[in-house]
Amino acid sequence: MKTTTLHLLTFVVFSVALCEESRPEPASAPSSAAESKRTLTDIELDDLCQHWVHSREEERSADKDQIFRPAAFKKFPPSWFRMEYKFARNGDCEWLYLAPNDAHRLKSGKWTLDPKDKTVIRITKEGTTSSYKMTALRKDMLRLLPETSK
């Protein structure tokens, strides 16, 4: 029993250390005048339409929004489950499904932008639609704030 507890404690400490080492440096200021003048309402589909992976290690406890990075951005630390989205220009998407047997696979869905507020994205998975406010969108980062039903 003591050996099992020691092994588990060692694993947890090692995992936390790995997460801290993999935390990326803060993003630098916009590189061009045009980019610095761009507002979030000017959604660039080329920025949005790619494969995104949840990077929870970058989130702070005070943050309510979720940080996503492109799949090839970095080697993500081990995780039991890490949400992924692939957005296509035609409104199709894929999302990572976690099955009851802990299997992971991509499933098909749809996405749309709210016609009145282009910073709100609606993702439909298996007949259920969730809305998220995009608080940041760049080629290398997507921040999603889940919207609550009113």
Which pLDDT tens digit goes with each residue over 25-45?
444 434 444 443 445 556 788
Q: How many CA atoms lie within 13 A of 87 on its CB side?
A: 22
Instruction: Give pLDDT, residue 29.
Output: 39
Q: What are the angstrom distances between the C-alpha of 77 and each of 19, 107, 121?
A: 6, 23, 27
- Which tokens go with 2? 């003591």
Residue 117 φ then ψ, to 5°: -135, 100
pLDDT tens digit sequence for 75-89 = 998 888 899 999 999
Assessment of whether the complete model's pTM goes beyond 0.85: no
List strand residue ranges (DSSP E) for 7-87, in order. 51-54, 66-70, 84-87
pLDDT band for position 138 (50/70/90)? very high
Q: Is the pLDDT of residue 97 over 50?
A: yes
pLDDT band for position 112 (50/70/90)? very high
Query: Over the chain, what is the mean pLDDT?
Result: 78
Q: Is 112:122 a contact under the CB 8 Å cutoff?
A: yes
**Domains, the chain, with CATH or none:** 43-150 (2.40.128)
